[in-house]
């Protein structure tokens, strides 16, 4: 069973309580099957990250995928390794072809975006070792940098590494949000640590309403 939601605002949901109730329902449903995949584009600028009940990228097939077609994991092995934190595999693949650090998957994400979202510190370090410039690369649709993703999900260690390696602290995504905005708005995991790390250097810009 797969739930594939491209935009939560298709439901015309504007209040956080309703969103919370919807997410709680979907998460409850996810316990019934290991094949449920959640993919949200949140109004507040949250990246379109695949959310799974267990972070197993092999389960992330599109709803219309045919059995004979390659899975996302098979089609994008570098992305999968970054997503799952398999740093040794990532290093091996990039040693063979370091250009794969910039490869876009079907959603317009590079491997470092998955590593940042899923708090895969070692994977982030490997990717930056092979291609330092990806630290400020953006996704195709939301124009989000790895720092947007790490800050929005409250991953302080990844944020620190990205900043030390040259990440711009206050880039604007498509919704005109900075990483600091996302950390303060979403309050995920160690969001306070992220806010302290970013300090006042991020411009607190409210995302545009749709």
Asked whether residue 95 is domain-assigned, the answer is yes
What's the pTM value of the predicted model, to 2 decimals?
0.69
pLDDT at position 37 over 90: no
Asked whether residue 25 is domain-assigned, the answer is no
- For residue 126, what are the domain limits? 70-198
Asked whether residue 55 is domain-assigned, the answer is no
Secondary structure in 3-state letters for the chain:
CCCCCCCHHHHCCCCHHHHHHHHHHHHHHHCCCCCCEEECCCCCCCCCCEEECCCCHHHCCCCCCCCCCCCHHHHCHHHHHHHHCCHHHHHHHHHHCHHHHHCCCCCCCCHHHHHHHCCCHHHHHHHHHHCHHHHHCCCCCCCCCHHHHHHHCCCHHHHHHHHHCCCCCCCCCCCCCCHHHHHHHHCCCCHHHHHHHHCCCCCCCCCCCC
* Residue 114: CATH number of its domain: 1.25.40.20
Asked whether residue 34 is domain-assigned, the answer is no
Total of domains in the chain: 1
Confidence at residue 70, expressed as pLDDT on a 0 to 100 scale: 82
Compute the average pLDDT of residues 42-52.
Answer: 41
Asked whether residue 161 is domain-assigned, the answer is yes
Asked whether residue 28 is domain-assigned, the answer is no
pLDDT tens-digit readout, 84-118: 999 999 999 999 999 999 999 999 999 999 999 99
Confidence at residue 199, expressed as pLDDT on a 0 to 100 scale: 86
pLDDT tens-digit readout, 131-170: 999 999 999 999 999 999 999 999 999 999 999 999 999 9
pLDDT at position 172 over 60: yes
Asked whether residue 148 is domain-assigned, the answer is yes
pLDDT band of 5, cuts 50, 70, 90:
very low
Asked whether residue 37 is domain-assigned, the answer is no
pLDDT tens-digit readout, 187-208: 999 999 999 999 855 444 444 4
């Amino acid at each position: 069973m797969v739930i594939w939601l491209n935009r939560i605002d298709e439901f015309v949901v504007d209040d956080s309580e309703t969103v919370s109730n919807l997410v709680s329902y979907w998460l409850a449903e996810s316990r019934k099957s290991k094949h449920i995949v959640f993919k949200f584009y949140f109004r507040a600028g949250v990246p379109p990250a695949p959310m799974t009940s267990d972070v197993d990228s092999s389960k992330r097939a599109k709803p219309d995928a045919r059995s004979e077609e390659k899975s996302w994991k098979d089609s994008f092995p570098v992305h999968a390794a970054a997503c799952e934190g398999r740093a040794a595999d990532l290093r091996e693949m990039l040693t063979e072809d370091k250009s794969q650090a910039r490869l876009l998957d079907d959603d317009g994400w590079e491997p470092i975006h998955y590593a940042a979202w899923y708090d895969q510190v070692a994977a982030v370090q490997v990717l930056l070792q092979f291609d330092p410039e990806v630290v400020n690369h953006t996704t195709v649709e939301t124009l989000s940098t790895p720092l947007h993703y790490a800050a929005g999900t409250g991953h302080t260690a990844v944020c620190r590494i990205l900043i030390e390696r040259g990440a711009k602290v206050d880039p604007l995504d498509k919704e005109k949000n900075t990483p600091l905005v996302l950390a303060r708005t979403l309050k995920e995991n160690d969001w306070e640590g992220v806010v302290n790390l970013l300090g006042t250097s991020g411009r607190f810009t409210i995302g545009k309403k749709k």
